[in-house]
Amino acid sequence: MERLEALQAFKETFGFDAEDLFTAAGRINVIGEHVDYCGGKVFPAALNLRCNVYGKKTGGNVVRMAFRGIDGIVEIETDKLDSYRGLKIGNYQAGVAYFLREKGVDIVGCDLYYDCTVPFGSGLSSSAAIEVATAVTFCEYAGVAYDKVQLALLSQKAENQYAGVNCGIMDQFASAMGKKDHAVLLDCSTLEYEYVPLKLGDYCLVVANCNKPHNLVESKYNVRRQEVETALKTIQTALPVTCLAEVSPKQFNEVKYLLSGVVAKRAEHVVMECDRVHKAVEALKAGDLVELGRLLNESHYSLRDLYEVTGKELDTLSALARKETGCLGSRMIGAGFGGCTISIVKKTSVDNFIRHVGKAYQDAIGYKASFYETSIEDGVTVEKL
Ligand code: GLA
């Protein structure tokens, strides 16, 4: 939605003009999937698809929220923040407010209009973008200084403990800390990070949504977390490690006889994916995009065969992408079970790529995929209007 339309909608809803715009980003992840909660390194980047929060501080103890495309206003009272866990819309915001207040931040009444351009349920982290943008809004209106890494951690806590999704730190970190034209190499066990230029020369990343209807992603995600925790406990009987990401592929080969069934497969994915992240960052730095593409494909196969989080739609979409001339590699991103793929595609082939893959996907699956025009942008932004 253009800014003017959002400003108009704000005025129509609340009766006066918005004064501020706070934004946080949706994200892609180049590689390092389902390893953040195992202490691994991830390689996400912040997108131009964002949660935009238009706001005006009103004082008092009521936060009023309106949302693009949804009728009505959701109100949360700042002295009842524990009571909004069941809200379908507004629970992320209430969760963020709840944990900020626990930290001593005074949540000041305000009117907010949410224009979220990150498609919901797409694996591009609309929830993280909402949480982080909301956290910045409340801190700004409380007049407190904040550190963006701390806000990412607090947002993750809200998602874990308020919304009930046991996610890692990758999405909120990328949403807050992303940098234009860079991916963030983030060590999820120490939160040390490095910005690496996402220079793809004649190539670009194409983001495609398989549009599989969203269901039970959260509960399936939580099951994967339990499986890798089981694997870690068993491996710890043989190796002095604190997380699965510390296990090298060689060590894994020596201890894998201790594991069986799905637990063994899940752990193997984590160990090998961590190894691929290192190789992928080296390949990118060396400008070896063919190798980067190969690693993206391997990541997808591992998420399909070992972690089992892809499904027919994502497998079809990425397989069709790989067949296209000018495509160096393709994989699902995010939690999986639906959502998006990224593909490295030659810039001059993008139009054909979208046409061919789009048609073949619809023929195979029966409904359309969506392709997004994306660019890599900064994480949080704050603007006086
Ligand atoms: C979701 C979670 C992240 C991460 C990815 C998988 O996006 O929110 O923390 O675990 O899945 O890599």
Whether 300 has a pLDDT exceeding 70, the answer reads yes
Confidence of residue 287 (pLDDT cuts 50, 70, 90): very high
Q: Which domain holds residue 231?
A: 203-374
Q: Which of 167, 269, 309 to mutate to test the pocket of ligand 1 (most atoms within 8 A of CB)?
A: 167
- In the residue annotation, 275 being an active-site residue is answered as no
**3-state SS class at 380:** coil
**Are residues 210 and 175 both part of a single domain?**
no
Whether 355 has a pLDDT exceeding 70, the answer reads yes
* pLDDT for the residue numbered 164: 87
For residues 142-169, average pLDDT = 96
**Are residues 174 and 233 both part of a single domain?**
no
Q: Whose CA is nearest to atom 11 of ligand 1?
A: 335
Burial of 16: CB neighbours in 10 Å, binned 0-12, 13-18, 19+: exposed
How distant, in Å, are the alpha carbons of 45, 65, 119, 136, 367 from that of 53?
A: 20, 10, 15, 10, 32
* pLDDT for the residue numbered 71: 92
Distance CA 361, CA 315 (A): 10
Q: Which of 27, 28, 29, 34 to mutate to test the pocket of ligand 1 (most atoms within 8 A of CB)?
A: 34
Q: CATH number of the domain that 26 lies in?
A: 3.30.230.10
Distance CA 7, CA 18 (A): 7
**Are residues 220 and 173 both part of a single domain?**
no
- Nearest in space to 183 (alpha carbons), one of 378, 382, 346: 378
Strand pairing category for 381-384 and 20-29: antiparallel
Q: Which protein residues are within 6 Å of ligand 1, measured from CB?
A: 33-34, 36-37, 125, 167-168, 170-171, 334-335
Q: What percent of the chain has pLDDT over 90?
A: 94
* pLDDT for the residue numbered 312: 97
- The one catalytic residue in 115, 171, 288, 351 is 171
Whether 121 has a pLDDT exceeding 90, the answer reads no
* Partners of 160 in beta bridges: none
* CA 37–ligand 1 middle distance (angstroms): 8
Q: Whose CA is nearest to atom 1 of ligand 1?
A: 335
Distance CA 46, CA 381 (A): 12
Whether 214 has a pLDDT exceeding 90, the answer reads no
* pLDDT for the residue numbered 217: 77
**In total, how many domains does the chain have?**
2
For residues 230-248, average pLDDT = 98
**Are residues 32 and 135 both part of a single domain?**
yes
* pLDDT for the residue numbered 1: 62
Whether 209 has a pLDDT exceeding 90, the answer reads yes
Q: How confident is the prediction for the chain on average, in pLDDT?
A: 96
**Are residues 39 and 152 both part of a single domain?**
yes
For residues 291-303, average pLDDT = 98
* CA 42–ligand 1 middle distance (angstroms): 10
> Which of the residue ranges 138-142, 212-216, 330-334, 349-353 would you say has the lowest mean pLDDT?
212-216
**Are residues 279 and 136 both part of a single domain?**
no
Cβ neighbours around 148 below 10 Å, total: 18
- Nearest in space to 337 (alpha carbons), one of 210, 229, 247, 249: 210
> What is the number of the ligand 1 atom nearest to the C-alpha of 125?
7
Q: What is the pLDDT of residues 8-65, one digit of tens each?
A: 999 999 999 999 999 999 999 999 999 999 999 999 999 999 999 999 999 999 999 9
How distant, in Å, are the alpha carbons of 1, 102, 193, 201, 316 from that of 210?
A: 23, 39, 31, 27, 9
Q: Whose CA is nearest to atom 2 of ligand 1?
A: 167
Cβ neighbours around 19 below 10 Å, total: 14
**Are residues 219 and 136 both part of a single domain?**
no
**Are residues 166 and 250 both part of a single domain?**
no
Whole-model pTM? Answer: 0.97
For residues 346-375, average pLDDT = 97
Whether 307 has a pLDDT exceeding 80, the answer reads yes
Helices (H), 103-169: 126-142, 148-157
**Are residues 192 and 307 both part of a single domain?**
no
* CA 126–ligand 1 middle distance (angstroms): 12
Q: What is the pLDDT of residues 84-120, one digit of tens each?
A: 998 989 999 999 999 999 999 999 999 999 999 999 9
* pLDDT for the residue numbered 213: 84
289 phi, psi to nearest 5 deg: -75, -25
* Proportion of the chain in helix, strand, coil states, percent, rounded to 5: 45, 20, 30
**Are residues 49 and 170 both part of a single domain?**
yes
Angle between helix axes 91-102 and 126-142 (nearest 10 degrees) is 40
For residues 203-223, average pLDDT = 89
Whether 260 has a pLDDT exceeding 90, the answer reads yes
* CA 128–ligand 1 middle distance (angstroms): 10
Instruction: Please enumerate in sequence order all residues whose Cβ is within 8 A of that of 319, keeping only pairs 6 or more positions apart, or say none.
Output: 330
Q: CATH number of the domain that 297 lies in?
A: 3.30.70.890
- Nearest in space to 299 (alpha carbons), one of 254, 343, 261, 256: 343
- Nearest in space to 178 (alpha carbons), one of 383, 332, 24: 24
* CA 245–ligand 1 middle distance (angstroms): 15
* pLDDT for the residue numbered 216: 66
Whether 80 has a pLDDT exceeding 80, the answer reads yes
18 phi, psi to nearest 5 deg: -70, 150
Confidence of residue 344 (pLDDT cuts 50, 70, 90): very high
**Are residues 56 and 116 both part of a single domain?**
yes
